Amino acid sequence: TAAEPWPENAALYQQLKDEQILLSDNASSLAVQAFLQMCNLPIRVVCRANAEYMSPSGKLPFIHVGNQVVSELGPIVQFVKAKGHSLSDGLDEVQKAEMKAYMELVNNMLLTAELYLQWCDDATVEEITHPRYGSPYPWPLNRILSYQKQWEVRRKMKAIGWGGKTLDQVLEDVDQCCQALSQRLGTQPYFFNKQPTELDALVFGHLFTILTTQLITDELSEKVKNYSNLTAFCRRIEQQYFGGHDKDSSATVMARSAKRSLLR
Amino acid sequence: MAAPMELSCWGGDWGLPSLHPESLTVMAYAKFSGAPLTVNTINNSWRAPKGDVPALISEDTVVSQPAKILNFLRKQKYNADYQLSAKQGADTLAYIALLEEKLLPALLHTFWIEAENYCSVTKPWFASRIAFPLSLYLPGKMSREALNRIMLTRGGPPLYSLTEVEAQIYRDAKECLNLLSKRLGTSQFFFGDTPTTLDAFVFGFLAPIYKVCFPRVQLQEHLKQLPNLCRFCDDILNCYFRLTVSGHSPSGQDTADANLQKLTQLVNKESNLIEKMDDNLRKSPQHPPRKLTTLKLAAGGEESSSMNRLSP
């Protein structure tokens, strides 16, 4: 039952787009934006340097709707469902199980690989992550915050068994995940044929961000480019839900920068 | 003939060949694919478990972690996923991710963190199988690692205390069990009539929950309300492990088991020959070469019955 209708001033909070936000957070934010666009719910993106600390769970993005604050895609999908909007109502029980399993696959492999790359690969950490993560803050706070976060992420990687992996093994895992997604998608427009679901939003968020983010090497985006149906999928969602709409300025900026790199 | 392979893993009880989910997964996969493994369960000898358990030792290579061991077995041509299409292979990966994210935390909690369970069942059992003085240290270390893993992956804000995290992980685990039950439906295995990698992983995670007698059993009670999953575990135990409730395997059924293994190996070898003739089949959705070979092996019976059908 919908408690209140979706307000006009709903906002999505993330870090500063150009200087601060990292690959994994950008992917998560884009996934939520895509999901809300697919549900036809308007949202404006607000960039704040301290977004991570404002979030109730410490993870980004979070949305501020009415007087409620919800973070991360899973809880946001539940929250939107409680308001009466859902993308997966048309699926039967077995399909819903499959959808949840594939969403875990993306979190388990793609998101973890992104975190590994940006916090455990020394070259990327030095050149990209450290400068970006602490950029809104003065020295030495920027370094301290950055090292603290790195220590946290490395602890988690070790606990789940990724501590001993090399970058090549991680890229192998990314390839395996992309292959699975590509095989599951096949020639369909969306993962569950005609209508997009939260799975499509999640996959789009991660793959599009990987394809359009400049890292030290192109190895990560090359893994995704190997699968033409995945790049076509990203282009399709971008055109349908982000391109050609002038209502959200950040979406058009993203569309323009995407066109620059996807069409290269 | 492949070099003899040894699997070093934790032993079993309560009718299970092993209590450890990862060891159980590898053992089940070996049975499904017909790989000849000598199983060495870790016991009181001085050869304490070094590094990861389970570990596969073949000639000079040591492979650890279930995913890598299964990959190794597949490279040795022991492949249980022959008849899967590309999409089914993708589904396998997705469901394994679901198991690791949603079910494993609660499983670890039931074994290693729930105080009554740990003190009365898990610690004494593991300690009795490790040599002194390591038995004083190793179970505690495994428990701490389990707690660490759960708190780091699921214990972020707004859940600050262990009790809040516990409630969440058991909710997730029960939902995961429900999803698995819906996916399995009324089939015998997850992809039809032959067991595959996914069946090995699901069995590895479910069987310890199902069979081990703990004082605190909320997960087991939930599992028992899903009869198709219980039937799934029992079927695999009866067909592939042939252990009676007391845990002893009758010698007569051993030879039947060995024959079944030999037959599966022969079938695998035949399909390998066909596979070598057309390398492309490996990449595209699998055609069922095994069906061709079973026809060939049972040539006498099949032909006579088909001739009977032709001439009424």
For the residues B278-301, what does the mean pLDDT come to?
52
Structural domains in chain A (count): 1
B86 CB neighbours in chain A (<8 A) are 183
Percent of the residues in chain A that have a pLDDT greater than 90, as a whole number: 62
Q: Report CB contact under 8 Å: B91, A98.
A: yes
Distance CA A137, CA A150 (A): 17
My answer on whether omega of the bond before B195 falls inside 30° of 0, hence cis, is no
Residue A6 domain-assigned? no
Cβ neighbours of A27 (radius 10 Å):
23
Beta carbons of B179 and A155 less than 8 Å apart = no
Name the minimum distance, in Å, from the CA of B201 to any CA of chain A. Answer: 14
Residue-wise pLDDT tens digits, B254-288: 555 666 766 777 777 777 777 677 766 666 665 55
Mean pLDDT value of segment A253-261: 40
pLDDT tens by residue, B158-171: 667 778 888 889 99
Distance from the Cα of B247 to chain A's closest Cα (Å) equals 32
Q: Which of B103, B179, B229 is most worth mutating to test chain A (most A CB atoms within 10 A of its CB)?
A: B179
Q: Which two tokens stand for residue A89?
A: 């109502």
- For chain B, give the mean pLDDT: 79
Predicted confidence at residue B282, as pLDDT, reads 63
A3 domain-assigned? no
Q: A129-138, A141-150, B128-137 — which is least confidently predicted?
A: B128-137
Asked, for residue A4, whether it belongs to a domain, the answer is no
Query: Which pLDDT score is estimated for B12?
Result: 84
Pick the residue from chain A with its C-alpha nearest to B149.
A159
Q: Does A5 map to a domain? A: no
The larger pLDDT score, comparing residue B129 to residue B96, is at: B96
Q: Output the pLDDT for position A106.
A: 95
- Please tell me which of the candidates A57, A100, A180 has its beta carbon nearest to residue B93: A180
Which of the four pLDDT bands, split at 50, 70 and 90, describes residue A246? Answer: very low
Report the gap between the CA of A239 and the closest CA in chain B (Å): 27
Position A134 in a domain? yes
Residue A247 pLDDT > 50: no
| Segment A28-36 mean pLDDT | 94
Tell me the pLDDT tens digit for each residue of A11-30: 999 999 888 999 999 999 99
B247 pLDDT exceeds 60?
no
Q: What is the pLDDT of residue A253?
A: 40
Residues of chain B positioned with their CB less than 8 A from the CB of A107:
97, 101
Find which of A53, A154, A173, A183 to mutate to test the B interface (most B CBs within 10 Å of its CB): A183
CATH of the domain at A238: 1.20.1050.10
Q: Flag whether residue A149 sits within 8 Å of chain B, measured between CB atoms.
A: no
- Sheet containing B55-58, strands listed edge to edge, beginning at the edge strand earlier in sequence: B37-41, B5-9, B55-58, B61-64
Q: Which of B145, B147, B152 to mutate to test the interface with A (most CBs of A within 10 A)?
A: B152
For residue B3, what is the DSSP state? P
- Residue of A156, A176, A184 with shortest CB distance to B87: A184
Q: Is the pLDDT of residue A249 over 70?
A: no
Decide if B30 contacts B195 (C-beta within 8 A). Answer: no
Tell me which chain B residues have a C-beta less than 8 angstroms from the C-beta of A178.
Answer: none
pLDDT value for B271: 72
- Condensed to tens digits (0 to 9), the pLDDT of residues A188-231 reads 999 997 889 999 999 999 999 999 998 888 899 999 999 999 99
**CB–CB of B97 and A109 under 8 A?**
yes
A123 in any annotated domain: yes
In a domain, A162, yes or no: yes
Dihedrals phi, psi of B184, to nearest 5 degrees: -70, -40
Q: Is the ipTM of this complex over 0.90?
A: no
- What is the signed CA dihedral for A97, A207, B196, A164, rounded to 10 degrees? -120
Assign 3-state DSSP to chain B and report helix, strand, coil percentages, each to 5: 65, 5, 30
- The share of chain A scoring above pLDDT 70, in percent, equals 91
pLDDT at B255: 52
pLDDT at A10 over 50: yes
What is the value of pTM for the model shown? Answer: 0.81
Give the domain range for residue A117: 11-262
> What is the model's pLDDT at position B311?
42
Within-domain flag for A226: yes
* Statement: residue B62 has pLDDT above 70: yes
Domains of chain B, earliest start first:
5-242 (1.20.1050.10)
pLDDT at B259: 65
Asked if the model's pLDDT at residue A60 lies above 90, the reply is no
| Better-scored residue on pLDDT, A97 or B57 | A97
| Residue B50: per-residue pLDDT | 60
Q: What is the mean pLDDT of chain A?
A: 87
Q: What is the mean pLDDT of residues B63-83?
A: 86
